A = this chain, B = another copy of it.
Amino acid sequence: MNHELAVEQANAHFYRALAELDIEAMEEVWRHEDWVVCVHPGWPMMTGWAGIQESWMRIFENTKMMNVSPEDVSVRVDGNVAWVSCIENISTFYDAGLQSSYAQATNVFQRVDGAWKMVVHHASPLPVPDDWEGAKLSEN
């Protein structure tokens, strides 16, 4: 399998773990180092796996259901490092209702013992485009 495809799959695993609120799958995705970095949309940066893991647990506990899919995925690989740009199409279901949102993501992966592991996740809020079906549904 070529590296670009392997990285695209690692990126897809991340979004599947997120959509399925699956902390064990999320643990599989990341490197467990004290220097890995995560920026949730609108949150300040977190550094280190311990805090990042805890943040995912809190997000998963407070979320009833989440649909998220990566779009416009572009992958670059150089040696043991890969960086991915994509747009996150997110629908989150809370007790209080549905929230639809878009985020811009930069994800960095590092190849360790043959497996691509996430070392940076930076997601930031984007305006919801007018022609987005999810946005229309949430207005009805």
Q: Tell me the A residues contacting B by CB distance below 8 Å.
A: 35, 37, 39, 41, 44-45, 47, 72, 74, 76, 78-81, 83, 85, 87, 104, 106, 108, 110, 119-120, 122, 124-127
Q: Assuming the A-B contacts A44-B104, A85-B45, A122-B122, are A78 and B110 also in contact, with contact meaning beta carbons closer than 8 angstroms in the complex?
A: yes
Closest Cβ neighbor of A108 among chain B residues: B83
Each complex incorporates copies of this chain amounting to 2
Contacts of A47 in B (CB 8 A): 74, 85
Contact across chains for B124 and A122 when beta carbons are under 8 A apart: yes
Closest Cβ neighbor of A75 among chain B residues: B35
Give the interface centre of A119, A124, A125 by most chain B CB atoms within 10 Å.
A124
Query: Which listed residue (B37, B80, B85, B104) contacts A85, Cβ 8 A?
Result: B37
Contacts of A45 in B (CB 8 A): 72, 85, 87, 104
Contact across chains for A79 and B78 when beta carbons are under 8 A apart: yes
In the bound assembly, the distance between CA atoms of A125 and B79 in angstroms comes to 31
Contacts of A72 in B (CB 8 A): 45
A8 shortest CB reach to chain B, Å: 15
